[in-house]
Amino acid sequence: MNVRFALVSDSTLDVGACEQAVRTAASGAVVTFSGVVRNHDDGRSVTLLEYVGHPSAERVLAEVAGQAAADSEVHAVAVAHRIGTLAVGDTALVAVVSAAHRQAAFAACARLVEEVKARLPVWKRQVFLDGTDEWVGSA
């Protein structure tokens, strides 16, 4: 398995560092997904998000990354999820996969993101312009 890193952090995520981490001489494709805080949800204006992670979050993220890296077509994987308070425009999730060919890299990156969203024990609180908030199941 070639997991370059699986990180849960309260610091700004460096998309470029994630991409650099998975580059190999054999990789013809590096696919990056950046989940960015948007200013709306379901017709309501969002002002900020707060992500709260369970102590097991980084271990679970490493497991998910390991599963993605186990794909024989994948060369390397890097994934990071932010916790804490994020403003509109901040990056909450970065998932990067390298492979020899784009189709394999796109497919593996999509699976990685879906598994992170399904399994990572991180919860999201959305704060709306009107001052109300709402907790969302998992990030």
Give the whole-number percent of the chain exceeding pLDDT 70.
Answer: 98
Which burial class, exposed, middle or buried, applies to 127 when counting CB atoms under 10 A from its CB (0-12, 13-18, 19+)? middle
The model's pTM: 0.94
Q: Is the pLDDT of residue 66 over 70?
A: yes
Q: How confident is the model at residue 1 (pLDDT cuts 50, 70, 90)?
A: low
What mean pLDDT do residues 35-55 have?
A: 97
Residue 79 within any structural domain of the chain:
yes
Query: How far apart are the C-alpha atoms of 54 and 110, rounded to whole Å?
Result: 24
Let me know if residue 93 belongs to a domain: yes
- Residue 36 is part of a domain; what is its CATH number? 3.90.1170.40
The answer to whether residue 132 is domain-embedded is no
Percent with pLDDT over 90 in the chain: 96
Q: Indicate if the pLDDT at residue 138 is higher than 60.
A: no
Domain span at residue 47 reads 3-125
Domain membership of residue 131 (yes or no) is no
**pLDDT tier, 139 (very low <50, low <70, confident <90, very high otherwise):** very low
118 part of a folded domain: yes
CB neighbours (10 Å) of residue 64? 25
Q: Is 42 exposed, middle or buried (0-12, 13-18, 19+ CB in 10 A)?
A: exposed
How many domains are there within the chain?
1
Task: Tell me the pLDDT of the chain averaged across its residues.
Answer: 96
In a domain, residue 111? The reply is yes
pLDDT tens per residue, range 81-125: 999 999 999 999 999 999 999 999 999 999 999 999 999 999 999
- Look at residue 69 and tell me whether its pLDDT is greater than 70: yes
Residue 134 belongs to a domain: no
What value does the mean pLDDT take over residues 43-50? 97
In a domain, 59, yes or no: yes
